[in-house]
Amino acid sequence: MTQEQLTQAIHDKSSFLCIGLDVDLDKIPVHLLEQEDPIFAFNKAIIDATHHLAVAYKPNTAFYESYGTKGWQALEKTIDYLNVNHPEIFTIADAKRGDIGNTSTRYAKAFFDHMGFNALTIAPYMGRDSVEPFLAFEDKFVILLALTSNPGAFDFQVSDTEQNLFEQVLQTAQTYTNHERLMFVVGATKTEYLSRVRAIASESFLLVPGVGAQGGSLDEVCAHALNDQVGLLINSSRGIIYASRGEDFAQAAAAEAQKLQEQMKAILAKRWG
């Protein structure tokens, strides 16, 4: 998928919502546990109920890996289901990978070729040759961690020096080959920095976690970071997928997704009429 197609999908659905599929067997409805593959059954129901409200889904690989081979199979089935039934959906493997060149190529093959994700989150610590192997894949995207939504972001990403590490990452990434296929993770809990992000990465899409459960404000994020291509994917995970543990879990998820989508529709209408 290209960036233009993603922007088009956002306008078509009046939504820039990304739904995080962080499936925890301790939190899903008990009646699903009897199914052969409860993780996939849960994801399928959530996707069926919300796909008209979201432009992207983002499984976090940690949740799948913690269930071993079975979890990995559920992840493969989930991405297959999305690719076959909803090819217009932008799919993100939230894997936070990154390694030396030949190893990054392996990860790229795993997530782009083997599973067919559109994008992968990457940690920037190892620099250029840990990122560029992913950017070599046509119409695939790297979403580089810039400023994360957790408290530990202040350990290294933000400092009292002239240039914060997250700004250095944004700046250096502009020099990477195929950098137009780079997006960045910027937490909604740090809106005071969003203008500084946009000063460096004006054209890039930002994946923004932290709206809802973690306390970030959608309006504030949009005020600072919308660009001409919309340029935002707002992620919500727990607030949507765990809205109910009853038989009605999928409808409850859809209701929560719709609340966000309606706010997004209003924001888009204000700017694009």
- Subset of 27-66 contacting a second copy (CB under 8 A): 60, 62-63, 65-66
Catalytic residue selected from 44, 77, 96, 259: 96
CA distance 236 to 119: 17
Identity of the residue, 22 or 256, whose beta carbon is nearer to a second copy in the bound complex = 22
CB of residue 226 to a second copy, shortest distance in Å: 25
State which H helix or E strand residue 76 sits in: helix 68-85
Q: What is the largest CA-CA distance in the chain?
A: 56
DSSP state of 112: I
Figure out which of the listed residues 14, 15, 78, 157 binds a second copy, where binding follows CB under 8 A.
157
Interface of this chain with a second copy, residues 1 to 20, rule: CB under 8 A: none
Instruction: Pick the stretch among 6-14, 161-169, 193-201, 247-255 that binds a second copy (CB under 8 A).
Output: 161-169
* Contact status: 98 vs a second copy (CB under 8 A): yes
Residues 6+ apart with CB under 8 A from 226: 232, 267, 271
Nearest-approach distance from CB 102 to a second copy, in angstroms: 8
**Residue 110 one-letter amino acid:** A
The answer to whether the Cα torsion of 112, 208, 78, 96 is positive or negative is: positive
C-beta of 57 vs 264, nearer to a second copy: 57
Q: Which contiguous run of DSSP H or E holds residue 267? A: helix 249-272
Helix (DSSP H) and strand (DSSP E) numbers for the chain = 12, 8
Residue 78 found at the interface with a second copy (CB under 8 A): no
Cβ atoms of 92 and 64 within 8 Å: the answer is no
Active-site residue 77, yes or no?
no
Binding segment toward a second copy, per CB under 8 A, in 39-47, 49-57, 67-75, 254-262: 67-75
* Residue 134 interacting with a second copy (CB under 8 A): no
On the 0-12 / 13-18 / 19+ scale of CB atoms within 10 A, 110 is: middle
The residues binding a second copy (CB under 8 A) are 22, 60, 62-63, 65-69, 72-73, 76, 94, 96-101, 103-104, 106-107, 109-111, 114-115, 123-131, 145, 148-157, 161, 165, 168-169, 172
Catalytic residues: 96
